[in-house]
Amino acid sequence: MTIEVTLGDEADAVQAVKGKLVAEGVPAALSAGDSTLWGPQAQPEAAIRLGWLDLPETSRELLPEIAELVERARSQGLDHVVLAGMGGSSLAPEVICATEDVPLTVLDTTDPHQVRRALADRLDRTIVVVASKSGGTIETDSHRRIYEQAFRDAGIDPAERIVVVTDPGSPLERTAIEAGYPVVLADPNVGGRYSALTAFGLVPSALAGADVAKLLDDAAAVRPLLAQDEGNPGLDLGALLGANALQGRDKLILRDAPSDITGLPDWIEQLIAESTGKEGKGILPVVGAEAAEADDQFLVTIGPDSGTTVDGPLGAQFLVWEYATAIAGRVLGINPFDQPNVAESKENTTRILQEAGDGPLPTGTPVLTDGPVEVYGDLPGDLKNLADVLTWLLRAIPERGYLAIMAYLDREAAFDAAVVGEASFEEMTDTWASADVATLRALLDYRTDHAVTFGWGPRFLHSTGQYHKGGPASGVFLQITGAVTDDIEVPGKPYTLGRLQLAQALGDLGALTSRGRPAVRLHLTDRVAGVRHLLSVAEEL
C-alpha cells in the first residue's frame, strides 16, 4: 500500500486547480526538482531546498552509520533516549516514535520544570541526541550545556552519551568534533520542516527503537507517483490545499481518525504553517478541532474515514504532504521554502536578555489581577476580571480571523507523572491541572465559530510562529506564562532556563504587538491554581 487521497465535496474546485497545474507541467517538473516553479525571487532558495524529493534513496546511505550508533547504545544499556531539538528537528521523530510505540523523551522547550524531570529520569541509562540544522538554536544549545554538566556531575563522560545531528559546517559540528561526540550530518539541501526522512528524523527514532528502513521503503513506494498527472496523491492533496485557500477557506482542520499513525497533525501543522504563512497569505492548520465550523475552514482527516481523507503509511505521508505543500505554495504564489519572519522573535529575545543584564525582564505592569492570574496588555479600561478579558478576546477576532493560544508552560507534566508513578494522588491532581491548560482551546473553541489554535511555547515559534507574523493579519493572541519555582542554570550562559523562557515569550509578544495584533498575556503567579482558575472562568463564559 502506498497512499490514497480521497476528495470530498471540494472535488470540482480541486479538479480546476489540478488541471491548470497539469497544463503547466508542474507535477513532472516538481518531481524532477525544478527550482523555477515558484518564480525568480524564490529560485535561489528553492535550488538548495529540494533534496527532500530524493531522500527515500539518499537517506539509505545513513542506515549503516545509524545501525552502529544503535548497537553501541544497546551494548551500553542506554535505553532512555532524549532528543534535544526544535521544530523540524523534533516533530517528525516524535510522530515516528509515537506511531511505532517506542519511548522517546523530546525536549523542545525551555520550561525548567519539564527539563528537570527529564534530567532526573534514568540519567545513568540516558543517551542524548542534540539536533540542530543551523547549529545555533538557543534552546538546543541550552539543553546540550545542561546535559553535559549533568553527565559530568554524575561521573559520566559526555562523549559516551551525546550524539549530534547537524548540517555540514555548522557551529555545532565544530563543537561536537572538539568534544569527541559522534556526528551524523544531514542533507544541507533540505529545509528543517522537510527533514523528516533525513538524519534529523532517522537518528533519534532508530535509537528509540523505530524501524526507520521501513519509513524509507514506504516513501520510496510512493515516490514514482509524484511525477504523474493522474494517480498522484501529492498533486491531488496540493491542489486541494491550494484550491480551498484561493476560495477563502484558508483554515485547515486536521483530524486524526483511528489509524496506525499517531500525532501526524502536529508535524503537518509546522510544515504547512511555516511554508505558506507569509506575504499576508497562508493556510492555517488547526489541530484538535473535530469539524469545520465556518466558511473559511475545511476538514482533512488523517486515516480511513468519510469525506476528504489522506490514508497510508507514515513514510509515504511525510513525502506526500511535503510535495503537496510545495504545490500549494505555487498555487498561492509564495515561496514555500523560506521563513522570513521567524528570526524576529529570536532577535527580540536576544535583545531583551542583553538589555536587562542582571536586572528584571521588562514584563510591564498588570492591567488587572484576578486571583492567581495577572493580565497584561493594551486593553479597554472597563474590563474588570478574567471573564471580561476572555470575552473581549473572542469578540476581537475579525471576520475570517482566528484566536491563537500560546502557553509557555510544561507540556508533558501530566504524562510523565502518570508514567513515573512517583507522585501522590494530591500531587498527581496538581500535575494534571497544570497540563490541562491545553483544554482551554476546546473551551474557547466552543464559544466561537472562528478557528482556535493552541501552541506550546517556544515550540510553536518554530512552527506556526511564522504564520502568526507573516500570514494574514487576522489573528488575536492569548499568551500564557507561569511562575518558575525550580529554575535551571544554563552553564556558560548568563541566564537560566526560566529567564530564557520568559524572554522568549516577551520577545514574541513584542513581534505581534508591533504589527498591531490584539494580544494579551496572562501570567500565572501559581501555575496549578492559575490553570484551575483560568479553566473554571472559561467554562462559565
pLDDT tens digits for range 366-379: 999 999 999 999 99
Distance from C-alpha of 202 to C-alpha of 212, rounded to nearest angstrom: 6
The answer to whether 119 touches 233, Cβ cutoff 8 Å, is no
* 284-287/251-256 β-pairing: parallel
The answer to whether 460 touches 451, Cβ cutoff 8 Å, is no
pLDDT tens digits for range 160-189: 999 999 999 999 999 999 999 999 999 999
- Using alpha carbons, select from 470, 168, 14, 96 the residue that is nearest to residue 318: 96
Cell numbers 497584561: residue: 376
179 contacts: CB under 8 Å, gap ≥ 6: 148, 158, 159, 162
pLDDT tens digits for range 242-298: 999 999 999 999 999 999 999 999 999 999 999 999 999 999 999 999 899 999 999
The number of residues making up the chain comes to 541
pLDDT for residue 6 = 87
Query: The sheet that has 4-6: what strands, in order across it?
Result: 4-6, 309-311, 297-302, 251-256, 284-287
The answer to whether 286 touches 453, Cβ cutoff 8 Å, is yes
Which three three-digit cell numbers place residue 283?
A: 493556510
Average pLDDT of the chain, as a whole number: 94
pLDDT tens digits for range 82-118: 999 999 999 999 999 999 999 999 999 999 999 999 9
Q: Is 428 a residue whose pLDDT tops 60?
A: no
Return the H-helix or E-strand segment holding 155.
none
Q: Is 434 a residue whose pLDDT tops 80?
A: no
pLDDT for residue 426 = 44
pLDDT tens digits for range 393-413: 999 999 999 999 999 999 876
Return the H-helix or E-strand segment holding 156.
none
The answer to whether 186 touches 198, Cβ cutoff 8 Å, is yes
Identify the three-state secondary structure at position 362.
coil
Distance from C-alpha of 468 to C-alpha of 451, rounded to nearest angstrom: 13
* 80-84/105-107 β-pairing: parallel
Exposed, middle or buried by CB within 10 Å (0-12, 13-18, 19+), for 41?
exposed
Query: The sheet that has 183-185: what strands, in order across it?
Result: 105-107, 80-84, 126-132, 162-166, 183-185
Cα torsion at 271, 276, 279, 280 (round to 10°)? -110
Which three three-digit cell numbers place residue 61?
A: 546511505
Identify the three-state secondary structure at position 67.
helix
Distance from C-alpha of 59 to C-alpha of 187, rounded to nearest angstrom: 9
Q: Is 419 a residue whose pLDDT tops 60?
A: no
pLDDT for residue 1 = 53
Query: The sheet that has 402-407: what strands, in order across it?
Result: 368-370, 373-377, 519-524, 475-482, 402-407, 451-456
User: Residues 503-520: what's their mean pLDDT?
Assistant: 97
Residue type present at position 134: S
Q: Is 9 a residue whose pLDDT tops 80?
A: no
Instruction: Identify the residue with better confidence: 316 or 422.
Output: 316
pLDDT for residue 436 = 81
User: Which three-class secondary structure string do you get for 184-213?
Assistant: EECCCCCCHHHCCCCHHHHHHHHHHCCCHH
User: Residues 496-525: what's their mean pLDDT?
Assistant: 97
The answer to whether 62 touches 184, Cβ cutoff 8 Å, is yes
Question: Alpha helix (H) ranges present in 342-424?
Answer: 342-356, 386-396, 413-420
